[in-house]
Structure 1
Amino acid sequence: MMSETQPLPDAAPICRYPTPTPTTLDGLPADVRQRILEVQEKAGFVPNVFLALARRPEEFRAFLAYHDALLLRESGLSKGEKEMIIVATSGVNRCLYCVVAHGAILRVYEKAPLLADQIAVNHRKADITPRQQAMLDFALKVCLRADEVGEADYTALHAQGFDNEDIWDITSITALFGLSNRLANAISLRPNPEFYLLGRLPRAPKA
């Protein structure tokens, strides 16, 4: 007879290091606290990565500045495609936090409940376009074998309509989340429970 799985306690720490909680932000610098409160208001909860990074405010600011510069800039990549890169490379790096959190964001952007799981496991079996497959093929090469990137890789991406600035974006997003994946894994950063269901079911129509 199979034993029932014991649920994790609600108070399980979000990572190996002591962190502020959404109710204990007063000791943080004003700009860090404000950024966390803005995210909380928009999402309805505070993603655990913000609390983990907040323990070192200078690194919090630096990471989010680079994150915003890459993820929020106008480019030849859509918001959904940028999240595809994060999910695919985080899957290869076996980063639970980033696969779950950015998988949720990808589902919301693309309005595709199955897509994040497909991309995290094997993007070549995912419901994506040939252009997006080429993008992720390149991202995974940067992730795993950046020393082998050469002219042929650029030529293949140019054939799919990407320009050199788009290729810089693919490379930089992969690199930034290589850092994020390794940090999250090493500190055992837990995804917020809210992420698991986000974007999986269609929203009820407004009355």
Structure 2
Amino acid sequence: MSEPSINTPINPTTNASASTPISRYPVPSLDSLPDDILARILAVQEKAKFIPNVFLALAYRPAEFRAFFAYYDAVMERESSTLSPAEKEMIIVATSAANGCQYCVIAHGALLRVFSKEPLLADQIAVNYLHAPISPRQKEMLAFSIKLCRTPELVQESDYVALMEYGYDDEDILDISGITAFFGLSNKMAIVMNMQSNAEFYTMARAPRE
């Protein structure tokens, strides 16, 4: 396995449209980054074999980069969470589509395909999760996520009861809510920054595994 390198060329237009910068804000060079941010980016590069543009774009403001990914880790990597990686990505894809965030739908749609091993599922959820081939329990999870995303003022006790009838508990509800809320922030930042998706995300896990 080749080691990632600070000398790896980073094309600031590495996305589906090579003429469009990955962000409307400046993208710092790798050799200008603080050590901790560089280490995280290189670790992602080693695992994925490319650097997702969100890391490069958010590195423009190091303090916010650190806060963003610290909270990402807290809501997405919580050890005792009962939500599967695919279910977390379902929430992200459904709510990002509701928020009109192209970057997050494309990037996390790719991750949903990877985790679910279902090459069509991300597109189906992004368009209309009610018609997606997922369980009634998962549809209830997404119904709550979409309501919290679009009309949080209308969330009420009956919504929690409906989730609990499908076996979700209060900790699960916090997990669902934290992911929904965090990616509401992520969606808005990606939209304002005009963040562009890497070309790699569009084709990732599209073909069924043999």
Fold conserved (TM > 0.5)? yes
- Residues 59-95 of structure 1, C-alpha deviations (whole Å, 9 max, x = no match): 0110000001110113121111000000000000110
Letter of the 1:103 partner, please give it.
Answer: G
For residue 184 of structure 1, what is the aligned residue in structure 2?
190
For residue 3 of structure 1, what is the aligned residue in structure 2?
none
TM-score, normalized by length of structure 1?
A: 0.91
Q: 2: distance between equivalents of 1:45 and 1:13?
A: 17
For residue 88 of structure 1, what is the aligned residue in structure 2?
94
What SS does structure 2 have at the residue aligned with 1:17? Answer: coil
For residue 18 of structure 1, what is the aligned residue in structure 2?
26
Q: 1: distance between equivalents of 2:19 and 2:45?
A: 19
For residue 37 of structure 1, what is the aligned residue in structure 2?
42
Q: 1: distance between equivalents of 2:17 and 2:205?
A: 25
For residue 133 of structure 2, what is the aligned residue in structure 1?
127
Letter of the 1:107 partner, please give it.
Answer: R
For residue 12 of structure 2, what is the aligned residue in structure 1?
none
**Matching of residue 64 in structure 1 with residue 72 in structure 2:** no
- Asked if 1 retains the 8 angstrom alpha-carbon contact of 2:118 and 2:208, the reply is no
What SS does structure 2 have at the residue aligned with 1:188? Answer: coil
Letter of the 1:12 partner, please give it.
Answer: T
Superposition misfits of 4+ residues, deviation over 6 angstroms: none
Q: 2: distance between equivalents of 1:122 and 1:25?
A: 39
Query: Which consecutive residues of structure 2, in runs of 5 or more, have no partner in the other structure?
Result: 1-15
- Residues 94-117 of structure 1, C-alpha deviations (whole Å, 9 max, x = no match): 100000000000000000000000
- Asked if 2 retains the 8 angstrom alpha-carbon contact of 1:104 and 1:116, the reply is yes
What SS does structure 1 have at the residue aligned with 2:205? Answer: coil
Q: 2: distance between equivalents of 1:9 and 1:43?
A: 20
Letter of the 1:81 partner, please give it.
Answer: E
For residue 5 of structure 1, what is the aligned residue in structure 2?
none
For residue 170 of structure 2, what is the aligned residue in structure 1?
164
What SS does structure 1 have at the residue aligned with 2:31? Answer: coil
Q: 1: distance between equivalents of 2:63 and 2:83?
A: 29
Following superposition, the deviation at residue 43 of structure 1 comes to: 0.4
For residue 103 of structure 2, what is the aligned residue in structure 1?
97
Aligned residues: 194
C-alpha RMSD of the superposition = 1.2
Aligned counterpart for 1:48 among listed residues 29, 50, 53? 53
Aligned counterpart for 1:136 among listed residues 142, 148, 163? 142
Following superposition, the deviation at residue 186 of structure 1 comes to: 1.1
Q: 2: distance between equivalents of 1:149 and 1:91?
A: 20
- Asked if 2 retains the 8 angstrom alpha-carbon contact of 1:100 and 1:195, the reply is yes
Letter of the 2:96 partner, please give it.
Answer: S
TM-score, normalized by length of structure 2?
A: 0.90
